[in-house]
Every structure is written in C-alpha cells, then in structure tokens.
Structure 1
C-alpha cells in the first residue's frame, strides 16, 4: 500500500511523528480487507492489538511517498503475528511486529475459525 506523508502526519520540523508510523501500518491492514470488499470487523468478532514491537530506522518527511508491506509471520489458535515494513524509495525506514488477538464483540478472546484463518492467509501471505 502507498501512503503519502501529509502535514498532519509531521512535527513542526516536517518529520513524521513517531506514532503515525503505527497509523500507516493500521491503514495498510485495514486496506487489505477493504480491497476485497470486507472490513476487519467480521461476522463473529474483530482483532485487537496484543503486542507491538517497533523499530525506527530512518525518518520520513512531509511529502514523501511511502510503501507499507504486510506479511503474516505466525498463526496461533486465537492470535496471529504480522510483520509490517515501511519503505521510502525502496529503503526500509520502519519495521513493526504486531500480534493481534481475535475477540468477540463482548471483548473475550476466541479461537480463530478456519474461514478466518483462510482469509488471513489470503490477505497477508506472499
């Protein structure tokens, strides 16, 4: 997914504010669902962040066009882990490892169904 850096994404020096890299990754995850006519809110539940590890390698600036890639790295019974990478001009500038848990609408963890696993594999496997 391509992302353009806008003024609202930056600090007063025109450098992307650190938390906005997480927003860019969230948009990429959501867009994967939107691109197939779905949403991340599924019939029986949705996903919440359980663990996040971020590595900031280089800064992006106002006007930059960035590319966000998303790769499924681990699938468990009730959660999965994605590796998301942000590139600027083919150079890696940010990396996120995020574990997402599948929960009911009441907030309780639930097992990821076979259908949802297949959907996740189709969206985030190369």
Structure 2
C-alpha cells in the first residue's frame, strides 16, 4: 500500500513523527480487509496488537510517498505474527514485527477462515 506523508505527519522540520509509522502500518492492515470487501472490525470480533517490535532505520519526510508491505511470518490458532516494512522507493526506512490476536467477545478466539484468507 502506498501512502503520502502530509504536513500533519511531521514535526516542524518536516520529519515524520515516530508514532506515525505505527499509523501507516495500521492503515495498511485495515486496507487488506477493505480490498476484500470486509471490515477489519466488527462489534464483537477483531484483531488487537499484542506485541510490536519496531526498528526505525531512516526518517521519512514531508511529501514522501511510502510503500508499506506486509508479510505473514506465523499463523497460530488465535494469533498471527506479521512483518511490516516501509520503503521510500528502494530505501528501507522502518520495520515492525507485529503479534496480532483475534478476539471474539473480548476473549482470544480461533481466527475465522475469511480472515486467514486475507493474510494468505
């Protein structure tokens, strides 16, 4: 998924705030669902971030067009681990290993097949 860096994403020097990388990754995960005609959230079923390990390599800047890639590393019964990377052209800027847990009625639950197909 591509995203442009807007002024609201940056500090007064035009450098992207560190927290915005997490927003970009979240947006990319949601977009995976939207592209399949599904919602990433329903009233009683959704994924939550359980753990995240981030590596901030280089800074993105105002006006940059970033490419957010998502790769599945591991799928378990009620969770999955993904790696999300952000590039500016071919320049590697950021990566995150994200553990997502599927909740149903606020409790960890088996990931439905329809969700697994999104990450296939």
TM-score norm. by structure 1 comes to 0.89
RMSD: 1.4
Deviation string 1:32-82 (CA, Å, 9 cap, x unpaired) is 111121111258611000000000000000000100000111101110011
Q: Name the structure 1 match of 2:6.
A: 6
Structure having the higher strand fraction is 2
Aligned counterpart, 1:60: 60
User: Which residues of structure 2 form unaligned runs of 5+?
Assistant: none
Cα distance change of structure 1 residues 90 and 2 upon mapping to structure 2, 3 Å threshold: same
Number of residue pairs aligned between Structure 1 and Structure 2:
120
Distance 1:38 1:55, change over 3 A: same
- Measured against aligned partners, the alpha-carbon deviations of 1:79-113 in whole angstroms (never above 9, x if no partner) come to 00110000012111000110000001x31111223
User: Which blocks of at least 5 consecutive residues in structure 1 are unaligned?
Assistant: 122-126
- The TM-score, its normalising length taken from structure 2, stands at 0.93
Q: Secondary structure at the match of 2:33?
A: helix
Q: In the alignment, which residue of structure 1 is the partner of 2:45? A: 45
